[in-house]
Each structure stands twice: as C-alpha cells, then as structure tokens.
Amino acid sequence: MTATRSDSVAASMALALCLQAAIVGAGGVYAADVVPTVAQQASGADAIVGDWKPTDMDVDIRIFPKDGKYVGGVVKAVNPALVNTEMLREIQYDPASNMWRGEVFALKRGQFVPMTIKITANGFEMVAGSGFMSKTVEWVRVQQ
C-alpha cells in the first residue's frame, strides 16, 4: 500500500495539531512553540493566525488560538529578551463587524490597553488605546 501526497499532508497536519495540544496542555504556552497550521490560516476568525510584524517595531509576533480566544507573543526581536513576551491577549472575533477586540501591551505605558484589529489589503490595522490617546499601526504578515 502506498501513501498519497494528501495522506502525507493529512498526517502532518494531525501531528502538528497533536503537538500544539500537548504544548497548550503543558500549561506554559510560548509563542515561539506554536506554529499555525494551514487549516488555522483560514478566513474568518482565524485570518489573524500567523506571524506578523508591526510597521513601527522591529519584532515578529505570532498570533495563535488559546482557550477559545487569541493571544500573541514575540517570536523574533532585535532584543532577545523580548522573545516569548506576551504582547496581545484576550482577543475575540466579532463576526458582525468582522473585527477582533482584545488588549495589546503598550511598551511606553508599560501596561495592556484595549485594541481592535481590522483586516486590510496589506495585512491588518490595529487601533490601540481609546479616544485621543489611541494609536493606529499597520501590521504585515511575515513571509516564511
């Protein structure tokens, strides 16, 4: 019996999901340890899953599902001390507005602030903070 390419792809995806479940089940989930599968990069709520770079910082942030929401952590940075730092948390998708809401860590403030994410043609736009204290940043997908 010979395995087809689709059998091989399916087996690889199943293994990746099992490994991700084991990592999440271990309690200590680090962004660098969770690699999004092709299935997770679908449209809708999972459209934000993957590696992203904000245009105003020299870091790569991996967004992935955790406990029914999305989180994001640093996977690559000029300053290695930032790797595995949680930068995004409590992100939930709102299908009515096709936007995500959650919190982002504001380095200058040293605390998490509310944010929204909206998909754009080039990636996504994040508005962090509220009112006149808000900041809009474009993010682009990291090519692997």
pLDDT digits (tens, 9 = 90+) for 16-34: 333 333 333 334 555 555 5
Run of H or E residues at 99: strand 99-106
Range of the domain at 9: 5-141
Structural domains counted in the chain: 1
Burial class (CB in 10 A: 0-12, 13-18, 19+), 137: middle
Nearest to 87 by CA among 69, 104, 100, 102: 104
The per-residue pLDDT of the chain, averaged, comes to 78
Is residue 140 a contact partner of residue 122, using CB atoms and an 8 Å limit? yes
Domain of 102: which CATH number?
Answer: 2.40.128
Is pTM, for the whole model, over 0.75?
Answer: no
Burial zone of 83 (CB within 10 Å; 0-12 exposed, 13-18 middle, 19+ buried): middle
